[in-house]
Amino acid sequence: MSKTLVIIGHGMVGNRLVEEIRERDSAENWRIVVLGEEPYAAYDRVGLSSYMTGSTAEELSLLSSGTLEDRRVELRTGVGATDIDRATRTVSTTAGETLRYDALVLATGSRPFVPPVPGSDLEGCHVYRTLADLDGIRSAAVPGSDGVVVGGGLLGLEAADALRALGMRAHVVEVAPRLMPVQVDEGGGAVLARLVGDLGLEVHTGVATSGAHAGVDGELGSVTLTDGTEIATKLLVFSAGIRPRDELAEPAGLPRGGRGGFLVDGNCRTEDPRVWAIGECAAVRGQCHGLVAPGYRMAAAVADQLTERGHAEFQGADGATKLKLVGVDVASFGDAHGTSEGALEVVYANNAEGTYAKLVLDDDASTLLGGVLVGDASAYDTLRPLTGTALPAPPEQLLLPAARSGGPSTGVLPGEATVCSCHNVRKTDIAAVIASGAAEDVTGLKSCTKAGTGCGSCVPMLKSLLDEAGVATSDALCEHFAQSRSELFEIVRATGITTFSRLVAEYGTGRGCDICKPAVASILASSVNSHILDEEQAGLQDTNDRFLANMQRNGTYSVVPRVPGGEITPDKLITLGQVATEFGLYTKITGGQRIDMFGARVEHLPEIWRRLVEAGFESGHAYGKALRTVKSCVGTDWCRYGVQDSVTMAIRLEMRYRGLRAPHKIKAGVSGCARECAEARSKDFGVIATERGWNLYVGGNGGFEPRHAELLASDLTDEELIRLIDRFLMFYIRTAERLQRTAGWIESFDNGLEHVREVVVEDSLGIVAELEAAMARHTASYTDEWRAVLDDSEKLSRFVSFVNAPDSPDPTISFTEERGQIRPEPIDLPTPVAQPGQDRVTEEVSA
């Protein structure tokens, strides 16, 4: 006969316990009854802020279909516990029921801490904790007005960014002298303040909130700070920390920890052997933990005990944190503040890029104790597992951004290094699974070890460990599609599928993610040639493609009309000047022979496009993974050295391939002679004139890892040149992987360029006719994306700053003037300085 387990609380940790029990209890010894106060089942509270920007409660849900279908599990949402009678082993509920238990687990979580601020009970004051809280904040938000967030920690900054997304001018009030004082040091806090300031948040540090005051209507009207600042506002959000939900302790006669929480031992068990507590409500040996990772480890430990897999103890919490906060990378691990005796600090600060990195070392600079990363946290995945071990490389190499220095490989990690802190998975655990053959890809490692299924920050490390073990990793596009991008392209082409929803339903799983949605959108645009904002296509696009313009650092957009070959008439130049003047835009001539206009508000984009379209311009696709430009010199018309008409050829090529969607952006160039003034050999495809025709070069690019293009064919006629480019581009589009430039794509073949030459020049696969036909279909079906929006009222309705206030402009956008043009409002960055008594080696790169 099965026993009854009652779990009070169905948050992230309570839900994890259910999953852990289900996995271990194959004999079905336990019947599980879960009480959840909220009307929703468990949802991703870490990703709560995405609810403000379009995610639904269903998308945030953590409840698996397997749980709903499991006859062992009974989930009661909207029902809480009112009392625990340990003598009779019963729980009384808000629904008036009495539930008997054989084992009881308290997973009641925490509540937001509201400081004792006079007026905190006024209408207009909110907390930031649940979906219902966010619904209330959304209803109270008034675009264009000021909103105040009390608390500059993790949740405080998330709350402030949510207000910004709702069109408000967000003020962050933090009593500590810097933002995120628990996670980052003074130098990191200074950089973080600058980065969030760039996003339009106003930061007040070193001050507290002294009072909230009613307005004439009796609701919140203003907030005062201890430095005398007064902010007129109707919305105040408290996000200043949490307190454990332990109100059931006293009536049940359960002891609390010194700072609250149900007091439990290392097994997460209270003084009652039938009652456990896990998550934020548990004071393990007197200490509460406010992160989800230790909560998950507590759930696993209790599940082991309940299913008699040994008396697994909770081994303590890894306080490491990595997140993208309001679009800014922040990470800390180990002794981030250098409190260990004799600790040394090594700091790298790049004021030009807005990045800050610090390593804390022991007194002989040989052992890594901790670190802080702000602005670029790419090195976190390697550095965190090295905590407490000998340095595998000089500290300055470890500090540099991983993509530049190469960084240490996973091979330097000791076997006992923790790769996944959410589930306490060590490198040796993963290596053993790989060696046994039980997992051959990241998905398999997740299934076998649970690594990567928590916060997900260790997934890159899993890939590296597979690579270093000699296991060929899957080329699956993402966890929702087992196929690669090129395989999905062939599926779409063969089946005629025209929507993401049908593709994922028939060939994938789940609802998709920010990796597969834009990738499939690109495939559909290349195959179907429909407008990228048609029907459900619009929801797949990233920000730039959604608004057909490049989003800039201050929330405005740039507009780049097509100027084929760089050739432009005086009348069109005048139009560009008039439009830029009328809409107050910053203008710049780009390296691709275009005129870029910056600072356009989203609601102004359609009218700007209308003016440009009427003057004969069209979209230059500067926002898309598509053909960007075909640069040219002046050729034979004007240059005494020119041997071919490079301008005419550049215009012909750009007009042929305009709007061509690809795995990555495509740039091209045409030079009229070997002097190479168009820099054609640094382009994805480049054309250089000869006395006998054209030489075609492919696979070049600038960017992070510059490549020179290599010669594909020589002395081509105009028609031969275009046929080869048709074939090359369509072969690339069909077979390259997501975000793979032509240079990397060519290098991915066993014989590199020789293989490409065999396919597109020699037709070794017998597909060149098909490639040419596909390009012909593209050129015949091209339409200007800007004009298509102007002709469609439904598409036009998307171009507003705020859906809930379509007539309100974004109030956070501000400019200053420099050299006669607008610039985003600058924010000064204080230079971090060493504190007295600290040893610090600092490398600064300043603009």
Residue-wise pLDDT tens digits, 340-398: 888 888 888 877 677 888 888 988 888 888 888 888 877 777 788 788 888 877 777 77
pLDDT at res. 298: 92
pLDDT at 802 over 70: no
DSSP single-letter state for residue 740: -
459-468 vs 427-436: helix crossing angle, rounded to 10: 50
Distances (CA, A) of 630 to 453, 688, 700, 777: 44, 12, 14, 21
How many CB atoms sit inside 10 A of residue 619's CB?
25
The first and second tokens of residue 48, run together, are 């709560």
pLDDT at res. 830: 41
pLDDT at res. 326: 60
Asked whether residue 478 is marked as a ligand-binding residue, the answer is no
pLDDT at res. 411: 59
Interatomic CA distance for residues 118 and 103, integer angstroms: 43
The first and second tokens of residue 298, run together, are 């507590």
DSSP single-letter state for residue 832: P
Percent of the chain with pLDDT over 90: 48
Interatomic CA distance for residues 276 and 302, integer angstroms: 8
**Contacts for 465 with CB less than 8 Å, ≥ 6 apart:** 410, 419, 427, 430, 431, 434, 445
**Contacts for 599 with CB less than 8 Å, ≥ 6 apart:** 552, 556, 558, 583, 584, 585, 586, 815, 822, 824
Asked whether residue 639 is marked as a ligand-binding residue, the answer is yes
Predicted confidence band at 566 (pLDDT cuts at 50, 70, 90)? Answer: very high
Q: What's the whole-number mean pLDDT along residues 463-479?
A: 76
pLDDT at 841 over 50: no
- For the chain, domains (ranges, CATH) are 3-111+244-306 (3.50.50.60), 125-240 (3.50.50.60), 318-408+817-847 (3.30.390.30), 411-474 (1.10.10.1100), 485-541 (no CATH), 625-783 (3.30.413.10)
pLDDT at res. 704: 58
pLDDT at res. 829: 40
Unique residue bearing structure tokens 């066993």:
750
Interatomic CA distance for residues 584 and 589, integer angstroms: 16
Predicted confidence band at 404 (pLDDT cuts at 50, 70, 90)? Answer: very low
Lowest mean pLDDT among 273-277, 591-595, 612-616: 591-595
544-564 burial, b if ≥16 CB within 10 A, otherwise e?
A: bbbbbbbbeebbbbbbbbbbb
Q: What's the whole-number mean pLDDT along residues 44-56?
A: 77
The first and second tokens of residue 439, run together, are 């997992």
Coil vs helix vs strand at 253: coil
pLDDT at 272 over 70: yes
Coil vs helix vs strand at 82: strand
Predicted confidence band at 251 (pLDDT cuts at 50, 70, 90)? Answer: very high
- From 357, 326, 430, select the one nearest 52 (Cα to Cα): 326
| Per-position DSSP letters for 100-118, written without gaps between them | E-SEEEE---EEE-----T
Distances (CA, A) of 322 to 226, 427, 457, 711, 767: 32, 19, 7, 45, 47
Mean pLDDT is highest, among 351-365, 406-420, 482-496, for: 482-496
Predicted confidence band at 798 (pLDDT cuts at 50, 70, 90)? Answer: confident
Interatomic CA distance for residues 53 and 289, integer angstroms: 29
Q: What's the whole-number mean pLDDT along residues 732-752?
A: 89
Predicted confidence band at 844 (pLDDT cuts at 50, 70, 90)? Answer: very low
The letter for the amino acid at 244 is P
Coil vs helix vs strand at 791: coil
Backbone dihedral region for residue 53 (phi beyond 0: left; psi -120 to 50: alpha; all else: beta) = alpha
Distances (CA, A) of 520 to 107, 508, 515, 613: 40, 12, 9, 29
Instruction: Give the β-pairing of 693-698 and 840-845.
Output: unpaired
Q: What's the whole-number mean pLDDT along residues 754-769?
A: 94
- From 717, 579, 726, 753, select the one nearest 660 (Cα to Cα): 726
Instruction: Give the β-pairing of 202-205 and 169-174.
Output: parallel
**Contacts for 272 with CB less than 8 Å, ≥ 6 apart:** 86, 254
pLDDT at 7 over 80: yes
Predicted confidence band at 834 (pLDDT cuts at 50, 70, 90)? Answer: very low
The first and second tokens of residue 341, run together, are 């005796």
Task: Provide the H-helix boundaries in 530-602.
Answer: 543-547, 570-582
The first and second tokens of residue 444, run together, are 């398999």
Asked whether residue 448 is marked as a ligand-binding residue, the answer is no
pLDDT at res. 836: 34
Predicted confidence band at 222 (pLDDT cuts at 50, 70, 90)? Answer: very high
Coil vs helix vs strand at 119: coil
pLDDT at 420 over 90: no
pLDDT at res. 758: 94
Beta carbons of 210 and 173 less than 8 angstroms apart: no
* Continuous segment of H or E residues that includes residue 719: helix 718-735
pLDDT at 606 over 50: yes
Q: Is the sign of the CA dihedral 510, 516, 520, 521 positive or negative?
A: positive
Interatomic CA distance for residues 317 and 290, integer angstroms: 10
Mean pLDDT is highest, among 461-465, 510-514, 618-622, for: 618-622
pTM: predicted TM-score of the whole model, two decimal places: 0.58
- From 781, 777, 778, 756, select the one nearest 767 (Cα to Cα): 756
* Positions of E strands within 19-66: 30-36
Mean per-residue pLDDT over the chain, rounded: 86
* Continuous segment of H or E residues that includes residue 186: helix 186-198
Asked whether residue 420 is marked as a ligand-binding residue, the answer is no
pLDDT at 664 over 80: yes
The letter for the amino acid at 819 is R
Predicted confidence band at 578 (pLDDT cuts at 50, 70, 90)? Answer: very high
Walk across the sheet containing 344-350 and list its strands. 321-325, 328-334, 368-374, 355-361, 344-350, 840-845
pLDDT at res. 409: 54
Q: What's the whole-number mean pLDDT along residues 775-792?
A: 92
Lowest mean pLDDT among 257-261, 424-428, 591-595: 424-428
* Continuous segment of H or E residues that includes residue 648: helix 646-657
Coil vs helix vs strand at 444: helix
Interatomic CA distance for residues 356 and 189, integer angstroms: 9
Predicted confidence band at 44 (pLDDT cuts at 50, 70, 90)? Answer: confident
What is the SS3 assignment for 255-278?
A: CECCCCCEEECCCCECCCCCEEEC
The first and second tokens of residue 592, run together, are 């691709």
Predicted confidence band at 468 (pLDDT cuts at 50, 70, 90)? Answer: confident
Q: What's the whole-number mean pLDDT along residues 710-727?
A: 96
- More confident position, 275 or 538: 275
Percent of the chain with pLDDT over 70: 90
pLDDT at 651 over 50: yes
pLDDT at res. 158: 85
Beta carbons of 457 and 381 less than 8 angstroms apart: yes
Mean pLDDT is highest, among 96-110, 317-331, 797-811, for: 96-110
pLDDT at 805 over 70: no
Q: What's the whole-number mean pLDDT along residues 687-699?
A: 95
Beta carbons of 801 and 810 less than 8 angstroms apart: yes
Q: What's the whole-number mean pLDDT along residues 689-698?
A: 95
Distances (CA, A) of 544 to 284, 622, 658, 666, 702: 47, 9, 17, 16, 21
- From 421, 471, 410, select the one nearest 449 (Cα to Cα): 421
Bridge partners of residue 139, in order along the sequence: none
Count Cβ atoms within 10 A of the Cβ of residue 567 and give its class: 0-12 exposed, 13-18 middle, 19 or more buried: middle
How many CB atoms sit inside 10 A of residue 56's CB?
11
The first and second tokens of residue 807, run together, are 């007539």
Interatomic CA distance for residues 548 and 85, integer angstroms: 62
Predicted confidence band at 809 (pLDDT cuts at 50, 70, 90)? Answer: confident
Beta carbons of 272 and 86 less than 8 angstroms apart: yes
